[in-house]
Chains A and B, each alone.
Chain A
Amino acid sequence: MARIGVFICHCGHNIASTVNVEELVEFAKTLPEVVAAEHNLYSCSEEGLGSIRKSIEKNKLDRVVVAACTPRTHEPLFRKTVELAGINKYLFEFVNIREHVSWIHAKEPKSATEKAKKLVAMGVAKAALLEPQKEGESSVIPTAVVIGGGIAGITAAASLVAQRIDTHLVETESRLGGNLADIEVIGPQFLKSKQLLDELIMELKTSTKAHLHLSSRVTEVKGFVGNFEVTVDRAGKAGKIPAGAIIVATGAKEWTPNGEYGFGTVPGVITQQDLETRLAKGEKPKRVVFIQCVGSRQPGREYCSRVCCNASLKNALRILDAAPDAIVSILHRDIMSYGTASEHMYRRASERGVRFVRYGLDRPAKVSPSKSGAVVEVFDETLDEDIDMDADLVVLATPMVARDDSRELGKLLKVPLDKFGFFLEAHVKLRPVEFATDGVFICGSARWPSSVSECISQGKAAAAKAAIPIRKGKVVIEAITAQSDSDKCSACGNCVIACPYEAIEIVEADGKRYAKVNETLCKGCGTCVAACPNDAMQQRGFTTRQLGAMIDALVKNAMEETP
Chain B
Amino acid sequence: MTDFRPTILAFCCNWCSYAGADLAGVSRLQMPPNVHIIRVMCSASVKPEYVLKALSQGIDGVLVLGCHIGDCHYMTGNHRTAKRMPLVQKVLKETGIDERRLKLDWVSAAEGEKFQKVIVDFVQEVQMLGPSPLREVRF
Chain A: residues with CB nearer than 8 A to chain B? 70-72, 96, 98-101, 103-108, 111-112, 114-115, 118-119, 122, 411, 414, 416-419, 424, 436-437, 480, 498, 500-501, 523-527, 529-531, 539, 542, 544, 547-548, 550-552, 554-555, 558-559, 563
Interface centre among A106, A414, A498, by most B CB within 10 Å?
Answer: A414
Q: List, sorted by A's number, 28 A–B pairs whose CB atoms are closer than 8 Å.
A: A70-B25, A71-B39, A72-B18, A98-B25, A99-B22, A104-B24, A104-B29, A105-B30, A115-B33, A115-B36, A119-B36, A414-B73, A436-B109, A437-B15, A500-B75, A524-B41, A526-B44, A527-B42, A530-B46, A530-B80, A542-B41, A547-B50, A550-B38, A551-B59, A555-B57, A558-B7, A563-B4, A563-B135
Chain B residues near A101 (CB-CB < 8 A)? 33
Contact residues in A for B102 (Cβ distance below 8 Å):
none
Q: Are B9 and A551 in contact (CB-based, < 8 A)?
A: yes
Q: Which residues of B contact A105 (CB under 8 A)?
A: 30-33
* B38 with A122: CB separation less than 8 A: yes
Give every chain A residue within 8 A of B54 (Cβ-Cβ): 551, 554-555
Closest residue of chain B to A417 (Cβ to Cβ) is: B110
Which of A72, A103, A527 lies in contact with B77, CB distance below 8 A? A527
Per-residue CB contact flags for chain B residues 8-19 toward chain A (1 = under 8 Å, else 0) read: 010000111011
Known pairs A119-B37, A551-B50, A554-B36 / 8 extra A-B pairs, C-beta < 8 Å: A99-B22, A115-B33, A500-B76, A525-B42, A542-B41, A547-B38, A551-B59, A555-B57
- Report, nearest first, the 9 A-B pairs whose CB atoms are least far apart: A526-B45, A99-B25, A525-B74, A416-B109, A558-B7, A525-B42, A527-B44, A103-B25, A111-B33
Closest residue of chain B to A105 (Cβ to Cβ) is B33
Q: Once the chains are docked, how many angstroms separate the CA of A480 from the CA of B14?
A: 12
Q: Is the CB of A100 within 8 A of B25?
A: yes
Most B C-beta atoms less than 10 A away, residue of A107, A114, A531, A563:
A563
B65 to A: closest C-beta gap in Å = 13
- Please measure, in the bound complex, the distance between the C-alpha atom of A225 and the C-alpha atom of B48, giving whole angstroms: 31
Chain B nearest CB: distance from A20 CB in Å? 14
Cβ contacts under 8 Å, A416 to chain B: 16, 19, 108-110
Interfacial chain A residues near B90, Cβ < 8 Å: none
Give Cα A415–Cα B21 distance, bound, in whole angstroms.
Answer: 16
B-side contacts of A527, CB under 8 Å: 42, 44-45, 74, 77, 80
Nearest chain B CB to A513 CB, angstrom units: 23
User: Is the CB of B99 closer than 8 A to any CB of chain A?
Assistant: no
Contact between chains at A106 and B46 (CB < 8 Å): no
Main SS of the interface on chain B?
loop
**Which chain B residues lie closer than 8 Å to A100 at the CB level?**
21-22, 25, 37
Contact of B74 among A98, A111, A500, A548 (CB under 8 A): A500
Question: B93 at the A/B interface (Cβ < 8 Å)?
Answer: no
- Are A554 and B9 in contact, with the CB atoms below 8 A? yes
Do B25 and A523 touch (CB < 8 A)? Answer: no
B window 24-68: CB within 8 A of A: 24-26, 28-34, 36-42, 44-50, 53-54, 57-59
List residues of chain B with CB under 8 Å of any chain A CB.
4-7, 9, 14-16, 18-19, 21-22, 24-26, 28-34, 36-42, 44-50, 53-54, 57-59, 70-77, 80, 84, 108-110, 116, 131, 135, 138
B25/A530 in contact, CB under 8 A: no
Contact present for A563 and B18 (CB under 8 Å): no
Q: How far is the CA of A208 from the CA of B81 in the complex (A)?
A: 47
Contact A558 B18 (CB under 8 A): no
Q: B109–A424 contact, CB under 8 A? A: yes
CA distance A480 to B74 in the complex (A): 14
**Cβ–Cβ < 8 Å partners of B80 in chain A:** 498, 527, 530-531
- Collect the chain A residues with CB atoms within 8 Å of residue B15's CB: 414, 436-437
List A contacts of B38 (CB < 8 A).
122, 547, 550-551
| Nearest CB in chain A to that of B11: its residue | A547
Q: Closest chain A residue to B130 by CB distance? A: A563
Provide the residues of chain B in CB contact with A550, threshold 8 Å.
Answer: 38
Chain B min CB distance to A42 (Å): 17
CA distance A559 to B76 in the complex (A): 37
Shortest CB–CB separation between residue B73 and chain A, in angstroms?
Answer: 5
CA distance A104 to B70 in the complex (A): 29
Question: Which residues of B are found within 8 Å of A500, using beta-carbon distances?
Answer: 74-77
Residues of chain A contacted by B74 (CB below 8 angstroms): 500-501, 523, 525, 527
Most chain-B CB neighbours within 10 Å: which of A70, A72, A523, A551?
A551
Q: Chain B residues near A115 (CB, 8 Å)?
A: 33-34, 36
**A341 to B90 CA separation, bound complex (whole angstroms):** 65
Contact of A103 among B26, B32, B135 (CB under 8 A): B26
Q: Tell me how far the C-beta of B114 lies from the nearest C-beta in chain A, rounded to whole angstroms.
A: 10
A119 to B22: give the CA distance in the assembly, Å.
15
Q: Give chain B nearest CB distance to A262 CB in angstroms.
A: 35
CB distance from A555 to the nearest CB of B (A): 4
Q: How far is the CA of A552 from the CA of B80 in the complex (A)?
A: 26
Contacts of B84 in A (CB 8 A): 530
What is the minimal beta-carbon distance from B28 to any residue of chain A, in angstroms?
5
A126 smallest CB distance to B (angstroms): 9
* A202 → B minimal CB distance (Å): 38
Q: In the complex, are the beta carbons of A107 and B30 less than 8 A apart?
A: yes
Contact of A563 among B22, B50, B131 (CB under 8 A): B131
